[in-house]
A and B are shown apart, each in its own frame.
Chain A
Amino acid sequence: MLLFRASALHTKLRRELWQMRGQTLAIALVIAGGIAVCLLSLVNYSSLTATRTQYYQERQFADVFTSLKRAPRHVLPRVADIPGVTRISGRVEGVAKLEVPGFNDPASARLVSLPPQGQPDVNRVYLRHGRLPHAARNDEVAVIGSFAEAHDLLLGDRLGAIINGRRQSLTVVGIVESPEFIYVIPPGGMLPDYERYGVLWMAREALASAMDMRGAFNSLVLQVDPALPVAGVIDRLDRLLAPYGSTGAYAREEQFSHRFLSDELNQLKTMAVIFPTIFMAVAMFLLNVVITRLISTQRDIIAVLKAFGYSNWQIGWHYSQLVLSIAFIGLLIGTVAGVWLGRALGELYMDYYRFPELLFSISPLWVLLLGLLTLLVALLGGWRAIGSAAALPPAEAMRPEAPASYRVTITERMLSWIRFSQPSRMIVRQLARRPARAAMSVTGIAMATAIVMVGNFQFSSVSLMVHTQFARVQQQDLTVSLTDPVNQSAMYGMTRQPGVRYTEGRRVVAVELVNGHRQWRTALTGIPDDARLQFVVDEHLNRVAIPPAGLLLTDFLAAELGLAAGDPVQVQVLEGHRPVLNLQVSGVTSEFLGVGAYMNLAAMNRALKEGPVINQVLMNLEPGQAETVYRDLRDTPRVMAINIRQAMLDSFFETLAKTFLTYTLVISLLGGVIAFGVIYNTVRISLAERGRDLASLRVLGYSHNEVAHILLGELAILLILGIPLGWAIGHGLASLVVAMMQTELYRVPLIITGRTLALAANVVIVSALASGCITWWRLSKLDLVAVLKTRE
């Protein structure tokens, strides 16, 4: 394919690109790295966003959600009459303790009813296998895919369930997904646990009779005309449903699954900005160095071309084409790699988020923009060198470049007590002669180190965070959530159960915290004075005393609400009589995991005008007694759900390891590419500039290794300076990432472990060794005789 008119200059360009193919490739790879990360993140972000949007549309995902105690179904038409409401679905919801054959841990599920016609109008389910439960059957369920997969459930399998205290046997007839439960977190838990918590769909009649909700509903989801404000609908809905024990309607933005998914998508967007910026900056530097060098070796050629009548513009364009060609190769590799990696990672996310199918989407406009940006970056990188080539007067260009002048460096003066060998002096002075370039090489190496660090620190940080959380802060083996508040004395009955060593009761209520126009739905937890199993800690993991009155808030939550210690806050309790309390924020604390509001248990009981009641029991078990306790708890009527600490940890790390390790590998690889690009180019240019000196030394009797020492010694110094600088930059970037990736689910603390530092250094050193080996081999091919015959 003949893209260009094959002029002599084009032929020159093509041959030169081929001659310096190693360097061309090294730079192209750095550019490709930047483009790949950018595209990968963009592809993931836009594919997942598009997939989600389509999924939401197809499944008629609700705009407004509300739960209530109990309302008769004849209220529904009045809801539908609220201006702006387009579709509604009144449902029955409940909870069940499950008995899965062959699985002894306690498992529980959220139950959602399906209308007689099968699919509801809002929050339609996606049928993966089988069919929906028959309207007239009370023993058929459709199971959410994550739970079915965790237990290898097949159509026709049977589950035991305790619903509203009654044991029932259920048959799996369908495996489904729902836009409402993309991200499923068990009550009382902080992280998904697909083995122990699922969602089941049953026919409305079946569930209503089990829950004593015949002719009534306790959950309502609805869609709103996009042209009308959701807030108005929520207002009217709350007023309409208040008499029926509504806990207050909330918009999609506050829906759990949606909120977590949005958080994660935003993280992808952050990645799409930070990493490519670093890569492009490094690529610019490399182009600058390489092109400057190339042009200085081609002064005579430029002079001849100008003597023949080529214009400055033609010369400039010729070298610009060289730069653009390299950028284009990078763009090509990067686009292919980025789209491919994006797809692969997208599949991984699919497993994770359980969308029915991945809608692969990347806007051609973005690719085009990225392409333009790349070419621009390349031109900027080569700008100075190209400009100086074009401006070179022919007569001056004919003359060789002025001889390099060196000086005795300050370092040598300061270290005059060291006897430098002459090769060592050469290294020091070479670095001192081109301090800007040396500084840029050091920066390039530092950037590579930093990128690997940023790719890795999160893994250590998150592991440490979770371990700390569970080792220090959550020392209970089990968290038992009760269906209704009970008197604290009931807890002592549990303590006496065989296998239970120690118990601690807490009171947890759903609340909406309101400060002016800001609001946040969360759980308010009452913690006893003498809490031993779970308490609140600050960022240094020191225990924070719960103030005798008022609220203690997680700093993330306080910031979202714009609150500080001492501020008043309105607490709308979303349960029981739904009292509205006016309390004070008495403290703010940092937590890694989840967000929360805490109160002294006794103070909370007083504020809620209730006796000494609790609705959550934390337990420590006797070793080896877990199974007995689980069985007993399953049969205890008021127990709603049980969270096992170890199980939560295991499932978290399994997910974390899968996503993070893939990501870490990709980033480390890219960091390695940058390191290689920088180091290889630095060494190759050094070799080109000093080939003559090195050959002279070889002639004078220096051995191959002694000469290699000069080149590789320079490299070693760059590494010794670059790696620690990279650690420092990495630390800075990591804190930036930490700040940008604060989510409700967790706030990654900035923890840089020795392992992270070592890994970053190792990736860079391995790249350096690879470049070193190539250089060493190149040195052996140095033409000693030719070098002596030419003037410098």
Chain B
Amino acid sequence: MAKAYYMDKATSCLPVFHTSELTKTYQQGEVEVHALRGVSLDLFSGELVVMLGASGSGKSTLLNILGGLDVPTSGEVKYQDIDLTRAKDRELTRYRRNYVGFVFQFYNLIPSLTARENVIAVTEIARDPMSPEAALELVGLGKRMDHFPAQLSGGEQQRVAIARAIAKRPKVLLCDEPTGALDSATGALVLAALDTANRETGTTTVIITHNASIAQMADRVITLSDGTISGEYRNATRQDPRTLSW
């Protein structure tokens, strides 16, 4: 079982996330699914990590646990001093509210709110948010702030989702297949927005994907298969996402 320890002097030497021997088993209908079979890893402040894995490798389950959407069956998961292992719904809500930004494959924008209002929906419950306009400028949507989701393209919607995720200045940004529903060119734009957000805000960013090309934009790449970490490496340089294609 691989254990991923990586110290990046350029970022920080303290892990923001620490997991050890995480397992997750759940019932799917009458079948018991072992989604995670003992995952131990650390994530460090400011780094951009891409987690690669085929579908069913457990990457989404891991992301959900890191994001406080789910709790592990066994093992330990800590965000700084916060123990997420056995946290109750109320504590998980507070954790998500204060520390985590999410970007989803299907954007999950609120259709009845405009781009700006979707961002405000998060900033108005955050402790120290940036202005919604600034967040939207950052993802290049300064001109389309008052459009409803139904009036935006898929790529634009995803960038609104990124703006919404970073506007509260989260400590960690978790992205689940952010380009999964987009074509290559649009996907590159979305990844560029994530890259910019990571560089400019220093937010620890985790992108999970099955698309190996995306790995080149990461500081570090972790590969998951069958519920365990099957490999990890560090890129010497992060490649500009705009140059990626698949």
Contacts and interface: CB of A to CB of B under 8 A. Distances in A.
Contacts of A787: 108
A149 interface: no
Interface string A419-439: 001110110011001000000
A703 B102 contact: no
A433 B148 CA distance: 13
Contacts of B69: 699, 784-785, 788
A403 B176 contact: no
B154 to A, nearest CB: 11
A317 to B, nearest CB: 31
Given A406-B148, A406-B150, A699-B102, A422 B97 contact: no
Given A403-B150, A425-B117, A790-B106, A701 B122 contact: yes
Interface stretch (A102-110, A388-396, A578-586, A690-698): A690-698
Interface string B89-131: 1100110111010101110111111100110111011100000
A701 B100 contact: yes
Interface residues of A, number: 35
A696 B150 contact: no
A704 B64 CA distance: 18
B159 interface: no
Contacts of A692: 108
Interface residues of B, number: 39
Contacts of A790: 106
A700 B164 contact: yes
A787 B111 CA distance: 15
A714 B149 CA distance: 22
A19 interface: no
Contacts of B176: 788
A216 B89 CA distance: 95
The 7 closest A-B CB pairs, nearest first, are A701-B97, A422-B121, A696-B108, A429-B112, A701-B96, A405-B150, A406-B112
A785 B113 contact: no
Interface in A398-426: 403-408, 421-423, 425-426
Interface centre among A404, A423, A780, A785 (most CB of B within 10 A): A785
Contacts, number: 94
Given A404-B111, A700-B164, A422 B117 contact: yes
Nearest to A701: B97
B70 interface: yes
A703 B93 contact: yes
B121 A700 contact: yes
A780 B125 CA distance: 20
Contacts of B120: 422
Contacts of A780: 89
Contacts of B121: 422-423, 697, 700
A59 to B, nearest CB: 71
Given A699-B96, A701-B93, A422 B106 contact: no
A700 B96 contact: yes
Contacts of A5: none
A790 B108 CA distance: 10
Contacts of B96: 699-701
A693 B124 contact: no
Contact of A425 (B113, B125, B151): B113
A426 B110 contact: yes
B122 A792 contact: no
Contacts of B114: 408
A79 B114 CA distance: 93
B111 A693 contact: yes
A577 interface: no
A422 B126 CA distance: 13
Interface string B67-95: 10110000000000000000001100110
A700 B122 contact: yes
A777 interface: no
Interface of B: 60, 64, 67, 69-70, 89-90, 93-94, 96-98, 100, 102, 104-106, 108-114, 117-118, 120-122, 124-126, 148-151, 164, 176, 181
B87 to A, nearest CB: 14
Contacts of A403: 111, 149-150
Contacts of B117: 422, 425
A78 interface: no
B104 A788 contact: yes
B97 A702 contact: yes
Contact of A693 (B106, B110, B126): B110
A698 B108 CA distance: 11
A692 B111 CA distance: 10
25 contacts: A404-B112, A405-B148, A405-B151, A406-B112, A406-B150, A407-B148, A421-B124, A422-B117, A422-B120, A422-B121, A423-B121, A425-B117, A696-B108, A697-B110, A699-B102, A700-B96, A700-B102, A700-B121, A701-B96, A703-B93, A704-B89, A787-B108, A788-B69, A788-B106, A790-B106
Contacts of B98: 701
A426 B108 contact: no
A703 B91 CA distance: 10
A477 B56 CA distance: 91
A80 to B, nearest CB: 86
A706 interface: yes
A791 interface: yes
A704 B93 contact: yes
B67 to A, nearest CB: 8
A406 B111 contact: yes
Contacts of B70: 785
A693 B102 CA distance: 14
A533 B90 CA distance: 73
A644 B204 CA distance: 91
A425 B112 contact: yes
A788 B102 CA distance: 11
A430 B112 CA distance: 7
A698 B93 contact: yes
Which of A404, A430, A698, A700 has the most chain B CB atoms inside 10 A of its CB? Answer: A700
Contacts of A784: 69
Contacts of B97: 700-703
A429 B118 CA distance: 13
Contacts of A433: 112
Contacts of A785: 64, 69-70
Contacts of A406: 111-113, 148, 150
A697 B120 CA distance: 12
B194 to A, nearest CB: 17
Contacts of B111: 403-406, 693
B106 A792 contact: yes
B110 A702 contact: no
A407 to B, nearest CB: 7
A697 B118 CA distance: 10
Nearest to B111: A404
A699 B150 contact: no
Contacts of B122: 700-701
Given A404-B150, A790-B106, A702 B112 contact: no
Contacts of A421: 124
Given A425-B113, A702-B125, A703-B90, 13 more contacts: A403-B111, A405-B150, A408-B114, A422-B121, A426-B110, A429-B113, A696-B108, A701-B93, A701-B94, A704-B93, A788-B104, A788-B105, A789-B60
Contacts of A422: 110, 113, 117-118, 120-121, 124
Contacts of B93: 698, 701-704
